[in-house]
Chain A
Amino acid sequence: MQKTMGRPYLGEFEELVLLTVAVLDGSAYGVTIAAELKQRTDRVISLSGVHIALYRLEDKGFVSSELGGATAARGGRRKRLFGITAAGKQTLSEMRQVRNELWESIPNPSWS
């Protein structure tokens, strides 16, 4: 696995998923994350892609999960609810900071 700046590498989609997990705060699981992303990014989002990203994030220690909350629409099956970990929060804020710094270093700010 690639490492950047001393922490596990985070792909663009993974970053989006991680942010969404933070946004949904406690009610984040496959379907809600996919729906949120679909609505916000206007991209084609597949459940399998979201799940893989979630499992990878979990491997990297950015999210934690627990089972719970079965409903009738799920055929009585439990969902895996994800929450962001301290490491996840830290990585996000580090990435944000790097971006901010980069933005500020653009010579002509009126460009955007």
Chain B
Amino acid sequence: MNTPQPPAWADRLLKGLCPPALQEELLGDLHEQFADQVAEFGVRKARRLYTLEVIKFCRPYFLKRRTAPFIKPSANPVSKTAHRSHFSDERQPFFLQPDMLRNYLKIAFRNLWKSKSYAAINVVGLSVAFCICVFLFLTSYLQLTYDSFHQDGDRIFKTYLFSNDPEKATRSANMPLPFVPALKADYPELEAATRIMSGRKSLVEAKGKYFDKLLLHTDQDFLKLFSFPFLKGNREIALRDLSSIVLSENMATAIFGTENPMGKTVLVGRDADQKQYVVTGVIGDAPYNNSSIQYDALVRIENAPNYQNNKDQWNGHFYTVYLKLPPQVDQASFENRLKPFAQKYFSGALKDLKEKKAQPDQRGDLFAIRLQQLSKVHFDRDIAGGKGTPIAIVYTLLGMAFFILLIACINFINLSIARSFTRAREVGVRKSLGALKNQLFVQIWGESTLLCLMGFLAGILLTYLLMPQFNATFDARLKLEYMLKPDFVGLILGVFTLVTFVAGGYPAWQMARFNAVEVLKGKLSMKRPGILRNSLIVTQFAMSCLLACCTIIAAQQVDHLRTRPLGFEKEQVISIPVGNQVDGRQVLGRLRNKLATDPAVLAVTGTSVNIGRGRDRVSSRTSLGFKYKGKDVATDILLVDYDYLKTLNIKPVAGRDFNRSYSTDSVNRIIITESMAKMLGEPKPVGLFMGEDEDTTGTKSEIIGVIPDFHLYSLADENRPITMHLSHSETIHYIFIRVTPQSLAGSMEKLKAVWQEVAPQSEFMGTFMDANVDAWYQNEEQMAKICSLASGIAILLSCLGLFAVAMMVIEQRTKEIGIRKVMGASIPNIIVVLSRDFVKLVLIALLIALPIAWFLMNTWLDNYRERIQISLWVFAGVSLSALLIALATVSFQTIKAALVNPVKSLRSE
């Protein structure tokens, strides 16, 4: 049939809503109007209007008449003949009648009011569970949607180099500079490819003001590849010129305020390196916790330091590369087509691997260029150098949220079932008066839904109130507006529906099934053994104990990693970021003069790289790759000043430290770490000269000392050998000062005062190095905090449930307790009798949880090179505290019950 039809579901809705006798004329009118509207507005709009029209039919006028027999008004006798033949008396069992619904609601509120403690426990439990779930869901939602806002994200890839080294197969996303131009020349079908180099923050000068901003060096394709919103200027040509700069919205506002920044100039860099750029565009800020790529401004990569030297260098691997494949090309086929490219340009690496007798992996590659999907970039710690969140943690968070919800649901089910016995009579009476099973189900389930809704709303309110607290504690920067994203709202509503179905549906179904006769005879009362209830309590406690054990063991492991020796002495060292406003070298000189006579200061030095994370939050890394006697060598380059080894208390294993008395130390003399010596393949490196094989004209660097390996970067980062050099021309970014242990307390204040004299333009941002090093493990620590919070809440909720169940059970056993007391039982006896059952349940829960915890954590710990051994004390402690907490919870009720005068409890009823 070709004539357009209105939506069928709307018709069905109308048929469900309207009195059957009116259906013909109403549907007829609606369809006729629909046909008119199709002619007038087109099919789409007509269908929309039709749906709207049908929804307008959902009014009490029609709903009421759906079942109610039509009551004839005592109207004019004139029309009586024709009157209302079309409302028939036909009755249908329709349980959503407005009058009945009103009755249900009234009964529901009366019931809740009658049992306030039960309602309160449920609402509190559910709201806490919902609140923590929203936080956990929000955190993991933001993680899982990382980088998902780019258009065609499934076609954007990060490239990485895979080499099947016999020692350890490695994957590295650091690509050489000439890689992208060569790639674009060889594969013209690529839609876009860009290099990205993000370094330290640079000094930006504009309108006489100074700013420290993160400058991203990249290619023109960056704007084509990523869909960060372009606010001003033309996306196509914004980075066409070498002197163009594209500012982020944030930076544009910071510098120019409300002025139009387009065409204005900014100066980047300092002194001789200062370069002038013209603003050619403004781009939206990268979402802080949703984007792998962060920037304050973009400039062409040709402006990067040493670009001219490195642009044909295939050995220096320091740039991230993203590319966008054409729609019809898939990842695997493009990886295959990259094989000849890898052989052509990375022949050196291939040769080395062959010399090491490397075997091809299962895909037949010794060395290959591979692609990683943009959506996976954030989660790959191996490639990304430890910046991402491991996906396992995200799933752990989701799992915890699920556990907590489940525990809250179990509480709800337990309480509802326990209460269902007290309401059995009502069900019996309703049934005998003709209530249908469906009707009863809807009524009881509706009551649970009402409770759930209250819990849910309270939870949302709680989330809203606690959001700033949560953000401050976990540095999470969650915002309420994230919660309003449609898919997140859908998720939360889905969870809510699920909870009402699981928690409310089961008890309602149980109750609706009660046999009316038996209930009214009183047969059904307390005879059920409550196997379901007990197993739910066991499940609940098992989950809480599992969470507690895992949290403690994980925290121990993180702590173990943190206290691992780093190869230097981090205590009593103060690290001061110099900032870009002043010249670090001059400040260092002045500081040395000032502190030279101070007995509390042991050593002062300067360097280019901070150890740990200081108040400037900056971490930078300079690496160098070259060929030494035919070998590929990659090393971190570290600029130091005199006394670096003394300040960090590192003892050379061979050779010596830099010394002022050797005038040539500041030119081409280096100190290397032991692993560097191993990489060079020199057992006695002191006195040797190191340099690029092909470079015969340049001067080579003499190795004057070898030191033990130390951790310049966090344990999560790739550990490379280190080469230290001394230079009078390069910039010093950090100053380290070692003080004596006795003077540690006041030294920070003292240094601050000295700093204001030597560098008045610059803010003092000194911190203790051990605190900085701790900051490396901030992520892990925050995770540990979130996990302990979650497991704490899980335990709390379980106890809440236990408390309520104990309350109900003891209420039912009031008479028994009275009789026991009359028969001479002492108060402790009664407490033991009442607590025994609950202790048994907790013991069973422990028996289930502990082996699972042991197995899971053992598997997890195996991922670490340095792992702790699981101590039995953890399990003993968790068991003991679980028992004690359960006992304490129950004892509140048992003691109260045991103290009651038996006369009262026996006389009741």
Contacts and interface: CB of A to CB of B under 8 A. Distances in A.
A97 to B, nearest CB: 20
A71 B24 CA distance: 12
Contact of A47 (B24, B53, B76, B80): B53
Contacts of A85: 78-79
A111 B56 CA distance: 40
A74 interface: yes
Contact of B27 (A63, A65, A77): A77
A1 B27 contact: no
Interface in B51-91: 53, 56-57, 59, 61-62, 73, 75-76, 78-80, 82-84, 86
B86 A80 contact: yes
A47 B29 contact: yes
Most chain B CB within a 10 A radius of its CB, from A1, A34, A55, A62? A55
A51 B26 contact: yes
A47 B79 CA distance: 24
Contacts of A78: 24-25, 28
- SS class of chain B's interface: helix, strand, loop or mixed? helix
B616 interface: no
A77 B57 contact: no
Chain B interface size range: 20 to 34
B27 A75 contact: yes
A71 to B, nearest CB: 7
B36 interface: yes
Interface in B616-648: none
B79 A30 contact: no
Contacts of A34: 33
B460 interface: no
Interface in B1-57: 22, 24-33, 35-36, 53, 56-57
Contacts of B61: 52, 55
Given A49-B56, A79-B25, A73 B31 contact: yes
A58 interface: yes
A77 B53 contact: no
Contacts of B59: 48, 52
Given A52-B61, A75-B27, A64 B82 contact: yes
Interface in A53-111: 55, 58-67, 70-71, 73-75, 77-80, 85-87
A49 B26 CA distance: 12
A30 B83 CA distance: 18
A51 B18 CA distance: 12
Nearest to B84: A58
Nearest to B33: A31
A59 B56 CA distance: 21
A70 B32 CA distance: 10
A1 B76 CA distance: 14
Given A58-B84, A87-B78, A87-B79, A46 B53 contact: yes
Contacts of A26: none
B75 A60 contact: yes
Contacts of A58: 79, 83-84
Nearest to B80: A61
A65 B56 CA distance: 23
Contacts of A71: 32
Interface in A1-59: 1, 8, 29-31, 34-35, 46-49, 51-52, 55, 58-59
Given A78-B24, A78-B25, A85-B79, A73 B53 contact: no
Contacts of B28: 70, 74-75, 77-79
A84 to B, nearest CB: 11
A73 B6 CA distance: 12
Contacts of A46: 53, 56
Residue in B32, B57, B62 with the greatest tally of chain A CB atoms within 10 Å: B32
Contacts of B35: 73
Nearest to A76: B28
Of listed B35, B79, B80, residue having the most chain A CB within 10 A: B79
A8 B74 CA distance: 11
A105 B455 CA distance: 62
Contacts of B56: 46-49
Given A75-B28, A80-B25, A80-B86, A59 B33 contact: no
Given A48-B57, A59-B73, A86 B25 contact: no
B29 A64 contact: no
Contacts of B32: 31, 71, 73-74, 79
Nearest to A33: B29
B78 A86 contact: yes
Given A47-B53, A49-B56, A80-B25, A65 B75 contact: no
Contacts of B83: 58, 61
Contacts of A73: 31-32, 35-36
Contacts of A77: 24-25, 27-28, 31
Contacts of B80: 61
Nearest to B26: A51
Contacts of B26: 30, 47, 51
A86 B82 CA distance: 13
A55 B85 CA distance: 12
Contacts of B76: 60-61, 87
Contacts of B31: 73-75, 77
B36 A31 contact: yes
Given A65-B82, A78-B24, 8 more contacts: A51-B22, A58-B79, A58-B84, A61-B83, A67-B24, A74-B28, A78-B25, A80-B25
17 contacts: A29-B25, A47-B26, A52-B62, A55-B61, A59-B73, A59-B75, A60-B76, A61-B80, A64-B82, A67-B24, A67-B25, A67-B86, A77-B25, A77-B28, A78-B24, A85-B78, A86-B78
9 A-B pairs closest in CB distance? A77-B28, A61-B76, A61-B79, A30-B29, A74-B28, A64-B82, A73-B35, A80-B25, A48-B56
Interface of B: 22, 24-33, 35-36, 53, 56-57, 59, 61-62, 73, 75-76, 78-80, 82-84, 86
